[in-house]
Amino acid sequence: MRTTIDIPDDLLEQVIAVSGAKTKRAAIRWALIEALRRKATDDLMSKTVIDFAVTPDELEAREVQDQYGRKGRRRRRR
């Protein structure tokens, strides 16, 4: 799709420098893809809960429980 837009020269030069693009078209395409990637990452991170207050012992207990189940026997893989 062809579109005519007015992009400040200094901003475009910065994008070209950061992206390493050889053309203006490639730099703009890179910037659009990067914006979408960052939005997707932000959306994913806002839905993810990270518990940094877990001790190594608690983490090991969770791993053992995941691997062996609550009764201590190893689960069968299907």
Give the model confidence (pLDDT) of 15-74 as tens digits: 999 999 999 999 999 999 999 999 999 888 888 777 778 788 888 888 888 777 765 555
Angle between helices 24-47 and 9-19 (to 10 degrees): 70
**pTM assigned to the model:** 0.58
Instruction: Give residue 75's pLDDT.
Output: 56
Burial of 19 (C-beta count, 10 Å sphere; 0-12/13-18/19+): middle
pLDDT band for 77, please (50, 70, 90 cuts).
Answer: low
Contact indicator for 36, 28 with CB cutoff of 8 Å: no
